[in-house]
Structure 1
Amino acid sequence: MPRLPAHAVQPGLSPLANVRNLVAVASGKGGVGKSTTAVNLALALAQDGWRAGVLDADIYGPSIPTMLGLSGRPDSPDGKTIEPMRAHGLQAMSIGLLVDADTPMIWRGPMATSALTQLLDSRWDDLDVLVVDLPPGTGDIQLTLAQKIPVAGAVIVTTPQEIATLDARKALRMFEKVNVPVLGLIENMAVHVCSNCGHAEHVFGTGGGERMAAQYGVPLLASLPLDVAIREQSDAGVPIVAAQPASAAAQAYRGAARRLVEALQARPRAGRPIPTSLL
């Protein structure tokens, strides 16, 4: 399969030498399923043949190790940089792999952002796309990512309800202000279909993601279902895209991944990449 070329990032930055495209997955608020979306999106990219990885940038609440069923500690061949761990065809890194599961990260902003840059400097193996799962909100981690780390684009995750899209708008506007293109929106928990009778119910309302996408002129990459299997598989360490690739939910993630790649490919190509050690 051909490789995905590197695409343009913020002015004054160049793509990393070992990561062709870094895509940030963000939300304005917690509880919208951002991490679950990020992991399944990365898995869908890998299933489509791209070399994909996922970086857990939620320093205070890392969940990627649990979702991918990862345990143990990553290796450091040179004693300076860390080898990403691998699961279900993905390269993965998280602060959760370096500390005990019940250890709280009681850090001020500068320490958290320093941890992010060290995690990013892992020994990624020539990735087409690195999906970065950001913490919710628009704080220090997001600002560091936008100002110092070359980002090819961002994906905003929201639920259909108005209170969620209000916060998602803030995340979208933040990326606009720091010259990071928003590649699209993903509307999560859009519809629940009863497993007994087949009745479809819009638990969190309808059309919020579609209205927001139209208002800001960005693509709606997918409207994902509210499906108990998505939660169960994430808790089990085998996300739905890996566990049930033929399911309707997995196919929805696959569609989102393909539209994400299309949005990336519509962007200008990048210049010469730079090594992470120069960040």
Structure 2
Amino acid sequence: MMILKPIVLAFSSLVDKELTPGEKMNERYIIDKFLGMGSYGHSYLVYDSYLEKKVVLKLVRFHKRITKKGIQIHQYEIEILKSLQHSSFPTVFDEGMWGRIPFFTMEFIHGKTFEQLIFTEGQRFTEEESLLYGLKLLERIEYLHQRGIVHRDLRIPNLMLEGEDLKVIDFGLAKWLSHTDNKKRDLKSEISPQADYFQLGHFLLFLLYSNYETTGSEKERPWDEELSLSTETNQLIKRLLQVEKPFETINELKACFLFAVNKGRNKHVTF
């Protein structure tokens, strides 16, 4: 099976030819440009001639659309996005088939990902700024968890800034929340709130490292030694990453987060 997988992926890449700008789909969508490829789909910026605006169109990749699980994941993403009524998540407009290829369209967000902001534009985030953006992400996470959804892919390519609003995109790995305990497990793949908390911790580290300077000659050290952080922020991240006791409830996490955010501030931030 392990030998077969690279062959299937290689064949999938040959079958899934990139659509060209100007190409029209279903007499409605005009391809503008290719946006990117995920494990489950190809995304394009297209002009929707019915809605008379640009939207994002997501096509299921070949190696996923030939499996029952791949189609289920596609339907999961649509179902989950349709259940969300919040400006920080994309709105679904249409779904259907292009020949034998399932697709759906959603709102195009006019912003930049944190990956672009950090690695392309060189933007730096202070500890305070990092915590404030982390708090915004926590608000989005709480909204999802209250609706029984865990995102499971809160990486910097899937988190965007549109003005000052933090947007969450790409729900390809999202699942309905399962009832599990909070013991230490495989936090990269599990379906529980802890998976999103774990990625929130990594989001904070990416922002904090944007402001870290090195000559390149120093010996690599653990993040809590390289970064000069307050005791409160340090403990927050360690608990998010389950290096120390994990958060058992969202309220406990919010209280710890706000304590770190408001440390030394004249005007206190509330959740």
Q: Which has the larger radius of gyration?
A: 2
- TM-score by length of structure 1 reads 0.30
Higher RCO (CA-CA < 8 Å; seq separation 6+): 1
